Structure 1
Amino acid sequence: MRSTAVDGFELCYDRVGQGPGVVLLHGWPGDRIDYRDVVPLLADSAEVVVPDLRGFGDSDKHDADPAQQYSAAAQARSVAGLIEELGLRRPVVAGYDVGSRVAQALAAARPELVGALVLAPPLPGVGQRILGAHAQREFWYQAFHQLPLAEQLIDGEPQAVRDYLTHFWTHWSGPQYELDPAHLDHLVAVYGPPGAFTASIAWYRAGAGTVARSMAEVAPQRRQRVSVPTTVLWPEHDPLFPRTWSDRLGEFFSDTDIRFIDGVGHFLPMESPRLFAAAVTAARDRRSVAR
């Protein structure tokens, strides 16, 4: 299915199940298929909507100013439009990686549309720690994505796409996770065509990545913190986001429940779909009780 265009971008999305609304937002390098094992766990008791974000998967990819059309705020406008178009009543919005940032931007800009958040990193509070030696070894790709060389070497080259994405899916995941070859084939199919990889890194060129965000980060005033009830799932083996970086969440959210998840890495919805689904269900149930 495809949404009505927002800013000229239509989103491709899946919609299954009946009940209270749930919106699941994917990461980079992924697409809506990231949630293939989570959706069946939710669809018996919820209406689950899983979009490809702007520039990803089967959603629109336009040659547009990244800062205007691919930023967290721009992505959030599309998700807000989809929620309103489908008539979802304050759904739980869950996301990791890029999807986490978009969910946070949506809750900050349009809190009336969101019943609860379920988030895995990235999250605010990193600050100047992004300049540390370990962080710089891990976040090199965000600077690389700013260079024309990134698209020259990778865009439209399926084997280069396969090698590049394999690095992230193996390095960022936990010690027990093995990338499904069929999933990798799917990612190569959606990131490999000319223009697809370049569209996916427009997110970073918009200044939406952790390095750019952390360098410019300022804790908001108390009344400007995200007020939507937020569950934070922080993996043990995410090399990008050590658990020590969770210490400042209270400066950015007014209602958080943080849970440290052992044994898994960055790709939480794939590595532990049952745990992720359970957190979404619990957030949905708490929201229903509160209402």
Structure 2
Amino acid sequence: MPHSAPVDGFRLAYDRWGAGAPVVLLHGWPGDRGDYHDVVPLLAGSCDVIVPDLRGFGGSDKHAADPAEQYGAAAQARGVIGLVRELGLERPVLAGYDIGSRIAQAVARDHPDEVRALVVTPPLPGTGRRILEPGAQREFWYQWFHRLPLSEELIDGDPMAVRAYLRYFWTHWSGPSFTPDEGRLHRLVTSYGPPGAFTASLAWYRAGAGTVANALTEEAPPAEERISVPTTVLWPESDPLFPREWSDRLAEFFADATLEPVDGVGHFAPVEYPAIFASAIRRAVAGES
């Protein structure tokens, strides 16, 4: 497994397949680069596909560091753009779900000339104070929990606790026809179960990069500061975290966004609907909306 050169002292583990137009796939929480197992074969015949573990995940470095400085969206984006430059990728398409979506957006906002297009799922900006509604708070409790030392005391280094905790999210956040198989859960427990691994994965939330923190502080930017990179937004029907009505403000944050509803599916885009996800990426590579 290759690793990138360090950025801020962090190396990213990554896999690479195929040849052609460059595509970088960014995973979510709770996940790792293995989330794209079913997407990669659909792209590798015509694309140069790079799938990294983000800082603090999988085979990438997990350093004790100030989360706000080294694990938030801007820091994770520095690692991703560092990998893009190191591999000589010319304006790749970035695709991501969950925290990978936020990081792809951060890269596009900070380095628009180095990104061809985005293909992302929620979270997207525009939630605002709707995050405080009772229904939303019932779903987003975990982001407060992840910032408490209690979360690591109860779960870190205990594979059985990790399995039970991650199974809850993979079951509750997925669509009605999806059941996470034991092999996938076993792989995630292998990734998140060693001492320190679960805690490292929480650094994103401890950096204040989660949806709750973002929604409460976000403001629509001036038109000239909207993300200018062409963006395809795949919005699932059955994601309990992000109801479709929260897609109503995309134009306030993106200069060129196309919304594509995806019915009957939940939060885990590359696992639940890999063919739809890959098709959107291929269209983005071709410059099609």
User: TM over 0.5: same fold?
Assistant: yes
Code of the aligned partner of 1:227: S
Q: Deviations over 1:126-164 (max 9, x none)?
A: 000000000000000000001000000000010000000
Residue type at the aligned position of 1:140: W
Corresponding residue of 1:177 = 178
1:51 counterpart = 2:52: yes
Q: Partners of 2:70 and 2:224 in 1: how far apart?
A: 28
What is residue 21 of structure 1 aligned with on the other side? 22
Matches within 5 A, 1:235-254: 235-254=236-255
Residue 67 (str. 1) matches residue 68 (str. 2)? yes
> Pairwise mapping of residues 122-137 of structure 1 onto structure 2 (< 5 A)?
122-137=123-138
Name the CA distance, whole Å, in 1 between partners of 2:190 and 2:63: 19
The answer for the alignment partner of 2:104 in structure 1 is 103
What is the rounded CA distance, in whole Å, between the counterparts of 2:114 and 2:224 in structure 1?
A: 18
| Identity within the alignment, % | 66
Partner secondary structure for residue 286 of structure 1: coil
- Does 2:213 correspond to 1:198? no
Tell me the distance in 2 between the aligned counterparts of 1:62 and 1:112: 30
Amino acid at match of 2:61: D
Which amino acid is 2:56 matched to? G
Question: Cα distance, 1:91 vs. partner?
Answer: 0.5
Which residue of the partner structure matches residue 165 of structure 1?
Answer: 166
Give, as a single letter, the amino acid of the residue that structure 2 aligns with 1:283. A
CA drift at 1:268: 1.1
Q: Secondary structure at the match of 1:122?
A: coil
Aligned match of 1:186 = 187
Question: How many Å apart are 1:178 and its aligned residue?
Answer: 1.2
1:273 is aligned with what amino acid? P
How many residues align? The count is 288
Do residues 207 (structure 1) and 208 (structure 2) align?
A: yes
Matches within 5 A, 1:144-163: 144-163=145-164
| Structure 2: tracts of 5 or more residues without a match | none
Unaligned runs of 5+ in 1: none
Instruction: With the length of structure 1 as denominator, give the TM-score of the two structures.
Output: 0.98
CA distance in 2, matches of 1:15, 1:268: 20
Aligned-CA RMSD value: 0.8
What's the offset of the Cα at 1:112? Answer: 1.3
Q: TM-score, normalised by structure 2?
A: 0.99
Q: Does 1:277 find its partner at 2:281? A: no
C-alpha distance in 2, partners of 1:126/1:213? 9
SS at match of 2:228: coil
CA distance in 1, matches of 2:250, 2:232: 11
d(CA) in 1 for partners of 2:45, 2:181: 25
State the partner residue of 1:265.
266
Q: 1:113 offset after TM fit, Å?
A: 1.2
